Structure 1
Amino acid sequence: MHFGFGFKSSTLLIFFIHGLVFTLLLLYKGIRNEHKSSFWLAGFIFLCSMYIAPFMLGYAGWYGIKSHREVLFFIPFQQLFLLPPLLYFYVKSSLTPSFIFQRKDWLHFIPAIVYAVYSLIIWIADKMILDEYYFYADGRDKDLALWYQISGFILLVFYLFASLKHYNKYKKKTYETVSFADSILYVWIQRFLIAFLGLLLIRILFFILNPEWANFGNKYWYYLSFSILFYYIALSGYVHSIKINLPYLPQLSKSFSVDFLAEAEEETTGTETTEKAEIEITQADKELQKQLEHFMTSEKLFTNPNLTLFDVASKLNTHPKKVSNIINKGFKMNFNDFVNNYRTQEVIKKVTASENNTKTLLGIALDSGFNSKSTFNRAFKKHTQQTPKEYFSQKN
């Protein structure tokens, strides 16, 4: 089978092959560990590989050979209506372990299904009924039609913003619910979503500044950038699917009676109840605040690296939302910052008491409830405006 190995076709071929390899690896990981998110990512990476295929094969000379050109014409490689919802459901299933695909979720795939039927009709008409090019009389690939490319572009932007919104909601609820938020934030997801938006903005810029953008040959650098980005997504997603079985996750799932992100999306309390809770600060709230401070200082609940809002609420014999409300209003912090502030003060107290003569600073930090060096450094600087090294050097 003819394939012209040039610079453009060869570089895209490398990413294409790697995309297929990661698709298989993620499928294996999903089957073996029953990770729903791995299946969604596998589908997304596979479609990304197919997305660059027409240009890879085009630079290899396929559009110049009739039998090869028909393959490019009649196989819808660029699934621009299917890529965006797959990305969205990957993000959603990664951040919400209890996510279940429901019947209503099929609505997201209606545009992709319609386009698949459209492609099938064209193939049946040109190859089986008319036995000649009718829809393809102009000799141009329908996947590269302007209306389809623009529609797919708009859809991708919409789902990227929806994914970012979902991530930000998850991030906010995480900081309000657990004391080890940095460990489960999936920061890389936010990074690649923002990078994806940046790539789309570059595409708009090229389209405006480069009058020849519509020419096949001038799109190489965009597709190379797209390939690098989806390779990063594939690699990062696979690495995180390996790291997903972290030590604190089993305890986390036991502590939460429901998925905390799902709870964040519920509005069962009603707007009026929420506004009333924000306005009223009762004497009982103040008493509960004092109890909370007592338990944190006397029993040192913060030394538990897996401490959650539910653990504290259970200790105080009240509802988690009550505790969250008190911390937000009484201490002007979220739960994560509240607990890490106690941990930071504990580290300072122990170092001042010269415990660092027998233990390293990291050892003291771990004893104080931090679960990693990076989390300790970030929290310490946030609460003291200095790094641990700067702070203790100044004190000495």
Structure 2
Amino acid sequence: MIDTLFTPLYLWATLQALALGVMVPFLRLDKSNVFLGSFFVLTALNVLFQYLLVFTDFRLQYPETVFVSDAIGFCYGPVLYLYYRQLIFERMELRQWLHFMPVGLYLLYFIGFELLWRDFRYENYIDQPQHIAVLSLIALSNLIYLFALLHSIKRNDRHKGVKEFKLISWLDMLIGVFLLKSLLHLYIFTMHTFFESEVLAVVRLVKDVLFISTTVLIVVAAQWFLLRYPELILHGSSLDTADEDDAGDPLPDVGKSEPDQSLTLEEAERLKALVSGQKLYLDAELTEAVLARHFGVPSYYLSRLLNQVIGKRFNEFINSYRVEEAKRLLASPDSSNRTMFAVSLDSGFKSESVFYTNFKKYTQMTPRAYKLKFAR
């Protein structure tokens, strides 16, 4: 009866996670999407092997495959951390592969000792001290990478108003939920050794329910998330098309009254000094009303000053500063390994597409071409 209820859920979760893993790098092939796709492929494999080992006779025929879930457990943290890192940095340094050293050491141990040195049997490994130690190390690894991801979000919380950073933060929240789910699963698993046989079946049932329910929840959330915000995986592609945010504000209706005598070049220079001095343009959520409050004038006065004296719409005025900031970052050796996604965030743009469109508008070249000019 239980098998009948669980089978459709496990099958659905496996196929859907695998579809996500293939779709993400297929839509746009870059290093960050490869790691994101790998996360979903690992999830699909984990669900599949959990089903085979728990609900079928697969573990009796191929008991040595029990290592797969443990190896995947060691991989989750590094894959998610490197996905986050590749969104910000272009080059993946050789030392970053050291994140996979724990899973490599585990495979050496399992193959060299459990399989080749000993006569491996399922019951001589599962729930035994050596397996409890492995699960404890996986839990420790998950905790370390969870805190590393949360630290990265905290360090970049100045981008909290940026639409695309909100997407990253939301995905990181899903990552945190998934890691906590893994820890809970591992905790219940290790507690098997402390329960009497009468309640062991109940503990395993609770573990299986938590495992598949949280996995299904995360897969559904990821599907909704990627459908709602496709720019998460399409960032950087087809960026020569205009974004609605870049269309610019329509020319304000300033009325037919006589020109305001207070609209002087001195006031325009004071506005420019305020924006550049306080770097207000780095706020991706900056609006005309907010800038007017900073300047200490009504919004209609700021609109007239921008249009009648400076000769620019609000978006054009602010984005010109953001482009200059992006040019500075792209020309700086300190930013040579930053992705265009990271530069767009650091320059105050709301999305990467708006960044590309405005940069090309003001410089007649793409950000990457501008960066290559200084790299030579």
After TM superposition, the score normalised by the length of structure 1 is: 0.54
Residue 70 of structure 1 aligns with which residue?
63
Distance 1:55 1:137, change over 3 A: closer
- Residues of 1 paired with 2:70 and 2:187: CA distance? 25
Distance 1:82 1:297, change over 3 A: same
Does 1:16 pair with 2:40? no
* AA in 2 matched with 1:49: A
Q: Gaps spanning 5+ residues in structure 2: where?
A: 243-264, 304-312, 320-349, 351-376
- After superposition, the CA RMSD in angstroms is 4.7
Task: Please report how far the alpha carbon of residue 193 of structure 1 lies from its aligned counterpart in structure 2 after TM superposition.
Answer: 3.6
Distance 1:250 1:107, change over 3 A: farther
- Residues of 2 paired with 1:213 and 1:294: CA distance? 75
Residue 162 of structure 2 aligns with which residue?
181
- Residues of 1 paired with 2:44 and 2:133: CA distance? 22
Query: Where does 1:299-310 land on structure 2 (aligned, <5 Å)?
Result: none
- Residues of 1 paired with 2:239 and 2:290: CA distance? 18
1:19–1:48 contact (8 Å) kept in structure 2: yes
Residue 228 of structure 1, aligned match among 189, 201, 216: 216
Does 1:81 pair with 2:74? yes
Q: Number of aligned pairs?
A: 275
Q: Post-superposition, which runs of at least 4 consecutive aligned residues in structure 1 deviate over 6 A?
A: 207-210, 246-251, 298-301, 364-370
Distance 1:28 1:296, change over 3 A: farther
Query: Where does 1:1-396 land on structure 2 (aligned, <5 Å)?
Result: 6-29=4-27, 33-63=28-58, 66-67=60-61, 69-70=62-63, 72-73=65-66, 75=68, 78-94=71-87, 96=88, 98-122=89-113, 125=116, 134-136=119-121, 138-141=123-126, 145-172=131-158, 174=159, 181-186=162-167, 187-196=169-178, 198-199=180-181, 203=185, 211=195, 215-232=203-220, 234-235=222-223, 236=225, 239-245=230-236, 294-295=268-269, 297=271, 312=276, 323=277, 326=278, 335-336=282-283, 339-340=286-287, 342-343=289-290, 345=292, 349-350=299-300
- Residues of 1 paired with 2:267 and 2:151: CA distance? 34
Task: Please report how far the alpha carbon of residue 38 of structure 1 lies from its aligned counterpart in structure 2 after TM superposition.
Answer: 0.7
2:46–2:69 contact (8 Å) kept in structure 1: no
1:37–1:93 contact (8 Å) kept in structure 2: yes
* SS across alignment from 1:99: coil
- Percent identity between the two aligned chains: 15
1:164–1:193 contact (8 Å) kept in structure 2: no
- Residues of 2 paired with 1:292 and 1:197: CA distance? 57
* AA in 1 matched with 2:211: Y
Task: Please report how far the alpha carbon of residue 169 of structure 1 lies from its aligned counterpart in structure 2 after TM superposition.
Answer: 1.8
* SS across alignment from 2:8: helix
Q: Gaps spanning 5+ residues in structure 1: where?
A: 127-132, 252-290, 302-311, 313-322, 328-332, 354-363, 376-396
1:54–1:77 contact (8 Å) kept in structure 2: no
* SS across alignment from 1:46: helix
Distance 1:366 1:74, change over 3 A: closer
* SS across alignment from 2:38: helix
Task: Please report how far the alpha carbon of residue 137 of structure 1 lies from its aligned counterpart in structure 2 after TM superposition.
Answer: 6.4
